[in-house]
Structure formats: C-alpha cells, structure tokens
C-alpha cells in the first residue's frame, strides 16, 4: 500500500505469534496477550503465563489498523488526514484477494487493534499488550479515556494497572475479556520504586 496516496501514517510493526522462536520481535519489551481469561508474555510455544494481579505502569497507548500478510504484520495505520481510519479507507477491499482464514472463508487482512506499552512494577520489565478483539479494544479504549481525563487535571500522571478480566456477553454466549484495572497513578514527583530484590543502598 502506498501511504503517500492514501495520506495515512504507516509504520512497520512486528511479526505475529507464529514467528520463529529465535526471531526478535521489534516491539517494546515482551509481547503480552490475553486468551480465555489468562495473560501470556512472549510468543509461540515459549510464551509464559503472567500471574493474575500483576501490576504495571502504563507508558503509552496506541490504536491503529494492522495489515497481515503471510502470517506477519506488514503495516500499521494510525491515522488518515488526522483522523482514525475507517476500514474502507485502507484498501485491500476485494474479498476475492483475501487469504483464507478459519473455516476456509476469506479473512480481512486488516485488523482494528490496540497496544499498551507498560512497565512491570516489581522488576521494571517492559511489555506491550496487543489485542484486536472487541473486548480487548474496549478495555484499552477505557484505559485511554481515563488517561486523557487525567491529563486534564495535571501533567505527568500515568496509570498503574492490575491485570484482571471480566465476563462479556457475546453472540456465542458469555466470554472473558481483559480488564486493565486502574489501581493508582504514578506521578513524576512520586519517589522511585525499588524492586524488592534490589534494595536501595
């Protein structure tokens, strides 16, 4: 896709969970995902579950459309003409050219997605939570709205979240959805957090 023609902002993103285990993921920190009420860090068979209740300081939230090709994300569009894109603005609309998805039906190569860059409180490790599900997007959008409201009240405030989940009604019955639960706010004047295993001198 030619970003100059469509007037969008396009940046390379990262490979899918199906990348070779030794291939580096060009994203900030470890990939964090949510599946059936559980959070996982890492990709493929080497991913590890993150214990419920883990706390993180949110650094950045991003919304955009990811385009998949050959099981990899090849483009990420965050805006077109200063606005969040509508699907029809992204091209690749001919379903006859779409690759088959689950069940063999053509699968839209574009996914409306959300990303949250965050630092784990206990050890300062960096993670990027990614989701393109309805539940995942709503959780991130709620977090982003809270961050926008916090900016109205003062600068330098970043949410401290706890990984949780809740039930969501879908056309297939009750399903789990991520809940990025705000449990506090980090401010620039807040004293530095010291990991328990590395106390300050």
DSSP for the chain reads --HHHHTEEEE---B-TTS-TTS---SSSEEEEEETTEEEESSGGG-EEEPTT-EEEEEEEEEEEEEEETTEEEEEEEEETTBPPPGGGGS---GGGSPB-GGG-B--SEEEEEEEEEEETTT--EEEEEE-SHHHHHHHHHHHHHHHHHHHH-SSEEEEEEEEEEEEEETTEEEEEEEEEEEEEEETTSPPP--TTS---
Task: List the chain pLDDT tens, one digit each, 201 residues.
Answer: 333 333 343 333 333 333 332 233 357 899 999 999 999 999 888 899 998 899 999 999 999 998 888 888 888 888 888 899 999 999 999 999 999 887 888 999 999 999 999 999 999 999 999 999 999 999 999 999 999 998 888 777 899 999 999 888 777 778 889 999 999 999 876 555 555 565 554
Reported pTM: 0.75
What per-residue confidence (pLDDT) applies to 171? 75
């Amino acid at each position: 896709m030619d970003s100059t023609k469509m007037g969008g902002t396009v940046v390379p993103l990262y490979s899918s969970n199906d990348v070779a285990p030794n291939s580096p993921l060009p994203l900030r920190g470890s990939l964090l995902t949510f599946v059936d009420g559980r959070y996982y860090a890492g990709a493929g068979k080497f991913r590890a579950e993150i214990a419920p209740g883990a706390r993180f300081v949110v650094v950045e939230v991003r919304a955009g459309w990811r385009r998949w090709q050959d099981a990899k994300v090849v483009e990420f569009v965050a805006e077109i003409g200063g606005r969040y894109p509508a699907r029809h603005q992204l091209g690749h609309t001919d379903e006859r050219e779409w690759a088959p998805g689950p069940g063999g039906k053509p699968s839209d190569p574009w996914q409306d997605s959300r990303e949250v860059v965050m630092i784990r409180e206990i050890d300062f490790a960096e993670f990027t939570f990614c989701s393109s599900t309805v539940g995942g997007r709503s959780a991130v959008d709620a977090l982003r709205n809270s961050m926008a409201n916090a900016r109205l009240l003062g600068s330098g405030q970043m949410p401290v979240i706890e990984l949780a989940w809740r039930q969501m009604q879908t056309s297939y019955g009750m399903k789990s959805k991520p809940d990025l639960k705000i449990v506090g706010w980090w401010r620039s004047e807040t004293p530095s957090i010291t990991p328990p295993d590395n106390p300050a001198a």
